[in-house]
Amino acid sequence: MKKSRSKSRKVEKAAIDPMSWWREVRFGLFIHWGLYAVPAGRWKGKPVPGIGEWIMHRAKIPAAEYEKLAADFNPTRFDARTWVQLAVDAGMKYLVITSKHHDGFAMYGSKASPYNIVDATPYARDPLKELAHECQKAGIKMCFYYSQDQDWHHPGGSGNDWDYPNRTKEDFARYLKTKVKPQLKELLTEYGPIGLIWFDTPWWITKTQSLDLKRYVHRLQPNCLVSGRVGHDVGDYGSFGDNQIPVGRIEGDWETPATLNDTWGYKTGDSSWKSVEELLYLLVDLASKGVNYLLNVGPTAEGIIPAPSVERLQTIGTWMQRNGEAITGTEAGPFPYEIENCRFTQKGKRLYVMLMKWPRNRKLTLVGLKTNVRQARILTAPDKELAFTQTSGDGPMPSRLEVKLPAKKADPYVSVIVLDLASPAEIEPGILQQPSGRIELNAFMGTLHPSKTGRQIRLNPIGATESWFTRSNSISWSFTVSEPGTYRIEVGIVRGRRQPKWIGGHKLTLTINGRKATRRIRAQAWRDTPRAQYFPEAITRFGTVTFERPGVYKAKLTADEISPKNPEGVLLTSIELLPE
């Protein structure tokens, strides 16, 4: 997978690693709140498609018209303590709120621009000051989202081509100097200690300007982190795309921003709320991969967080109060790949096994864990030891652990089994056949064979292939079969970040155990993964393969034709071999 991006920043004054709190917390509250909550997804009586905070852009509303919304923005029902308590009760340890989104409106009392909630609205109070105070009292980190690049109200900001079609690079540099840096200085000198600045959409900004902003933030508050979207990979940690989730454990420090429905800013019409199961599954999935989960709410123009958001966060909080030990302060699990129905985190010699569904056979079966288990318990029933058997690996048969489980699942949503080990978990290397018989050839577990010239196959941040545009690139695997037999072959191709919807069309050839199968990539079925809602993975069936005996086998995937319609090339996540 992509090499670590977290560069340990040499900060003379900071005695501790500024990243340490961030790695500890794992779970934060994102808040998108601004003038866009007033129209709430409708303009001139008509619904405006897309995410709510983009209404000015989607409806091409002139800045002179949009700014009149300020006169109607009076969130009298806002209560900072209520919002912060919601985060605390949900087990969230940092709060990131929009101080200025792309519409250019500052949600705090800014002297650098009169276009702000204190000077331009009847509310005339500074909600971020009140939130900062409540966060400090509650002991959670106050953080600010700041759109450093897009600013649809400023002639120098990017993104508003309908009012400012002739904006130049010099205008943009002036915008950074006269609005962005003065506002960052206000946010970093008037609101107490700030955990991080969440920059966004680095479209126009140059690498020099990104580095300058990062250094500016660190000069004002050496321990304040800078998100990956400051641009040009110079952030203190990596930011995935919205709702983007890696396909396996990932090196370095990464965060996934995610919505509870399909919008960040409030929209009256968006009721596509995710279920608590989905949200908890994402929490444990991301924690198992060492990724922070920044989950968003979009408050109304009155200052109220919508009830469906509150209900979900409260239910997550109940789960966190019982099981949070498996999330907060843990590291990514020891398995580099996803295991069906299980996600893992670890802390020293303690391994947390998080079960999405309670096994019908009342057994937790794991293969590949080399380390001896000393004790097995249910996290929420620590006094009751669970019986287990453990066998070491022998040739093509990997080590195997079986833990006997009670009939009743430990939690209505995700149950946590604690394994206390003789030493920190050690995993058998390579691709192992799972207890269900499934063998998964993940792209990030394969060997890439880049072409000698031209664009070369590589892994993208989520661990799928990208930049695979020519036939001279390929990928191969070596894997262990424990159970001889015949297996269905399913190739998974995911939607790319720059594609409005999933695109197939490639013609690929798989050579496995001496047989070749060539297929045109199309969506014969869809994989059920945590990524599916936003990044669907289509399955193309490549027939079957038979293994006569246990042992190590090889596979290679080559491209005969690559569809030019796909701007990111062949986006392979994995090939699954499933028992017939």
Q: Which residues contact ligand JFZ (rule: CB under 6 A)?
A: 51, 53-54, 200-201, 241-242, 257, 264, 497
Tell me if 396 sits within 8 A of 478, measured CB to CB.
no
Smallest CA-to-CA distance from 187 within 119, 106, 114, 259 is with: 106
In 234-348, where does DSSP find H-type helix? Answer: 276-288, 307-323
Sequence-ordered strand ranges (E) for 86-230: 94-100, 141-146, 196-198, 225-226
Cα–Cα distance list, 171 to 64, 145, 158, 229, 534 (Å):
19, 23, 10, 21, 36
Cβ-based nearer residue to ligand JFZ, 408 or 498: 498
Q: Work out how close the CB of 269 gets to ligand JFZ at its nearest, in angstroms, rounded to a whole number.
A: 17
Rg of the Cα atoms in the chain: 25
CA distance 104 to 35: 10
Q: Work out how close the CB of 259 gets to ligand JFZ at its nearest, in angstroms, rounded to a whole number.
A: 8
- Residue 258 forms beta bridges with which residues? 295
Question: Running DSSP on this structure, what letter comes out for residue 159?
Answer: S
Q: Work out how close the CB of 15 gets to ligand JFZ at its nearest, in angstroms, rounded to a whole number.
A: 32
Smallest CA-to-CA distance from 527 within 467, 575, 465 is with: 575
Q: Work out how close the CB of 5 gets to ligand JFZ at its nearest, in angstroms, rounded to a whole number.
A: 15
Please, which residues have CB within 8 angstroms of residue 15's CB and are 6 or more apart in sequence? none
Q: Render 255-284 in DSSP notation, one character per residue.
A: EEEE-SSS-SS--TT---PPPHHHHHHHHH
Residue 119, number of CB atoms within 10 A of its CB: 14
Query: What burial letters (b/e) apply to 334-364, b meaning 16+ CB within 10 Å?
Result: bbbbbbeebbbbbeeebbbbbbbebbeeeeb
Q: Work out how close the CB of 159 gets to ligand JFZ at its nearest, in angstroms, rounded to a whole number.
A: 9
Tell me if 196 sits within 8 A of 227, measured CB to CB.
yes
Cα–Cα distance list, 233 to 245, 471, 499 (Å):
18, 29, 22
Tell me if 131 sits within 8 A of 80, measured CB to CB.
yes
Question: Running DSSP on this structure, what letter comes out for residue 472?
Answer: T
Cβ-based nearer residue to ligand JFZ, 156 or 202: 202
Q: Work out how close the CB of 121 gets to ligand JFZ at its nearest, in angstroms, rounded to a whole number.
A: 21
Q: Work out how close the CB of 353 gets to ligand JFZ at its nearest, in angstroms, rounded to a whole number.
A: 32
Please give the angle made by the CA atoms of 461, 467 and 473, to the nearest 5 degrees: 120
Cβ-based nearer residue to ligand JFZ, 235 or 435: 235
Q: Work out how close the CB of 260 gets to ligand JFZ at its nearest, in angstroms, rounded to a whole number.
A: 13
Cβ-based nearer residue to ligand JFZ, 411 or 537: 537
Cβ-based nearer residue to ligand JFZ, 39 or 333: 39
CA distance 102 to 81: 27
Q: Work out how close the CB of 109 gets to ligand JFZ at its nearest, in angstroms, rounded to a whole number.
A: 22
Cβ-based nearer residue to ligand JFZ, 360 or 498: 498
Cβ-based nearer residue to ligand JFZ, 54 or 335: 54
Shortest-Cβ-distance residue relative to ligand JFZ: 241
Cβ-based nearer residue to ligand JFZ, 201 or 318: 201
Q: Work out how close the CB of 250 gets to ligand JFZ at its nearest, in angstroms, rounded to a whole number.
A: 16
Q: Work out how close the CB of 106 gets to ligand JFZ at its nearest, in angstroms, rounded to a whole number.
A: 15
Cβ-based nearer residue to ligand JFZ, 34 or 156: 34
Q: How far is CA 407 from the centre of its chain?
A: 34
CA distance 297 to 31: 5
Cβ-based nearer residue to ligand JFZ, 231 or 317: 231
Q: Work out how close the CB of 258 gets to ligand JFZ at its nearest, in angstroms, rounded to a whole number.
A: 9
Cβ-based nearer residue to ligand JFZ, 199 or 335: 199
Cβ-based nearer residue to ligand JFZ, 96 or 131: 96
